[in-house]
Amino acid sequence: MTVQIDHALEEIRRFRPSPEFAAQAVADERLYEAAAADRLGFWADQARELLQWEKPFTRTLDWSNPPFAKWFDDGELNVAVNCLDRHVAAGNGDRVALHWEGEPGDSRDITYAELTDEVKRAANVLEGLGVGEGDRVAIYLPMIPEAVVSMLAVARIGAVHSVVFGGFSADSLASRIDDAEASLVITADGGYRKGKVFPLKPVVDEALGKTEKGTVQNVLVVRRGENEIAWDDARDQWWHETVSAAQAEHTARGFGAEHPLFILYTSGTTGKPKGILHTSGGYLTQAAFTHKNVFDLHPETDVYWCTADVGWVTGHSYVVYGPLANGATQVLYEGTPDTPHPGRWWEIVEKYKVSILYTAPTAIRSFMKLGRRIPQEFNLRSLRLLGSVGEPINPEAWIWYRHVIGGGSIPVVDTWWQTETGAIMISALPGVTDLKPGSAQVPIPGISIDILSDDGTPVEGEGGGLLVVTEPWPSMLRGIWGDPERFKETYWEKFGDKYFAGDGARRDEDGDIWLLGRVDDVMNVSGHRLSTAEIESSLVAHPWTAEAAVVGASDETTGQAVVAFVILKASQAEQVTDVAEAADELRRHVAAQIGAIARPRQVFIVNELPKTRSGKIMRRLLRDLAEGREVGDTTTLADTSIMQVISAQVR
């Protein structure tokens, strides 16, 4: 028995690539060697090899004004042409780009030629609506082909998209529209989720009523949910009327490699989301490079499926730009994993013979909970590579994923990156690197990562500290929209010219990197980033709330969960008689203000919050309570007995 367990542990520690996989792998050891010998030359080669340039670049990196990097900046390219037209020109117009599967079971296969036509038509419509180079377009759509078409049409004309996840509220949408000063919103009447139509256009109408700057001129509406919606003739247009009637001829021109491609809002440590800005040439180079090498893409034969929504960065880089730049065939699925039955994902893998699957640990853990019987009802033998992203994947989930979904012998790659990094930064290369469950492992070729202690000294060998990127990389964020100071402060102030990622990390005896979660007040719930400060200010905006503190407590399925501690206003004491009801009302309030993903798992109504003498809330102690642990060191509290009072109220 002992021998067996030892053997199992040894197996868990490390998996060597199988010779069969290695023999056909896209990546090889030489990528590491080339990047180590000449990092900038390596990226320049990748940019030339992977992309089509309208005007070749002669400068690889301009880092003369850190932290504002410029990559390939005298070159010109059109991002949409790279994702579409050139595949058609190369004779691959009949290849399926998207196997789209709607939640109710309707489906569409769209070839590269068809997608190119549709994007050209949409580009003509956008131009007809007065959208031009550099203008911002907000996209608020479900996972339907028009989401991909919209993003590419915006890119094609040199405008800038800001995709807002369909689960965000009218308030969140309004503040994003205002911050980017968008002139157009592309939305749908509604989309399908959990067997029902959820409204989108009504949320846009509400958001536009709330915007302060009034920059939006038009709303383009895709018909999907067929739900009842209000209509403003002066402002609203149907996609199916305008786009289908538009010309399918559209000549794209090249834009500078540093031309903005998109803004994507993500939560930071303050209440205000940050508009992360990405540009064109460097971003597309790294998205395409990682998509090809980390997922071992063979575009002629693979069917790739990334389950992320286009509202998140994973959907940008690994549903839209990376796969399409590489001419991949992929699945796009509108709905939830368990509708209409808990085997829906596996049914889709079987139907389209998916060979590469990229998803989040939260999804894997929720499938683990349901048991292996469900996936085992389907034929998953087409799968040959599995990926994970968004949060640390615990070794148990990694092993389950490999065995139950992957049949026991295929590679699982755990990929670490962020909205800010634009593309994968740390991951094994399948067929080349050994695999180690639980560790994201090694920087990809051309990326320089280090672990520093708090004072900035590098941690040598084994040890833990703060994760930094030590050299600029092609797909790095170019700034925070409209706020260069915040960009410098957030990422560059702590360690000078090294990018501070906000994550803790440990290097093990083999040199592999283990991610340890955020070291700031950013939570990670189901692989989605949420800010404690944003949820706290939402809670405080409720008329009943006097004070609120929010923590991310570890959660078996979602990684972390939002737990709030709220002190009610004394003046409300009479109105609020039922504490459970008050907690529910506050949970609903946060969901309505920010979006359902931010809804706290629990709200505890308390009389006190633990504070230091200077008035700072000690969230560490609240986290102890939320996770059911013994409360840690309380000596720095202004009133050391307070935790007993709070504990009694929480239990």
Could you list the residues that contact ligand PRX (CB under 6 A)? Answer: 266, 313-314, 389-392, 414-419, 440, 501-503, 515, 518, 524, 529
Written in H, E and C, the secondary structure of 253-305 is CCEECCCEEEEEEECCCCCCCEEEEEECHHHHHHHHHHHHHHCCCCCCCCEEE
CB of 262 to ligand PRX, least distance (A): 14
CB of 266 to ligand PRX, least distance (A): 5
Contact predicate 360/527, CB 8 Å: yes
Interatomic CA distance for residues 470 and 253, integer angstroms: 35
Nearer to ligand PRX, 211 or 317 (CB): 317
Nearer to ligand PRX, 111 or 314 (CB): 314
CB of 346 to ligand PRX, least distance (A): 23
Secondary structure of residue 16 in the 3-state scheme: coil
Nearer to ligand PRX, 115 or 357 (CB): 357
Nearer to ligand PRX, 93 or 390 (CB): 390
Secondary structure of residue 430 in the 3-state scheme: coil
Nearer to ligand PRX, 265 or 367 (CB): 265
End-to-end Cα separation, the chain, in angstroms: 41
Nearer to ligand PRX, 114 or 296 (CB): 296
Nearer to ligand PRX, 199 or 315 (CB): 315
List the alpha helices (DSSP H) in 510-609.
532-540, 579-593
Nearer to ligand PRX, 102 or 282 (CB): 282
Contact predicate 618/610, CB 8 Å: yes
CB of 475 to ligand PRX, least distance (A): 12
Which tokens belong to 380? 């998953």
CB of 391 to ligand PRX, least distance (A): 5
CB of 28 to ligand PRX, least distance (A): 23
Contact predicate 220/90, CB 8 Å: no
CB of 299 to ligand PRX, least distance (A): 23
Name the nearest CA neighbour of 478 among 280, 182, 254, 266.
280
List the alpha helices (DSSP H) in 157-192.
170-180
596 secondary structure, DSSP code = G
CB of 554 to ligand PRX, least distance (A): 14
Secondary structure of residue 561 in the 3-state scheme: strand
Q: Which strand (E) or helix (H) includes residue 39?
A: helix 39-50
Contact predicate 494/360, CB 8 Å: no
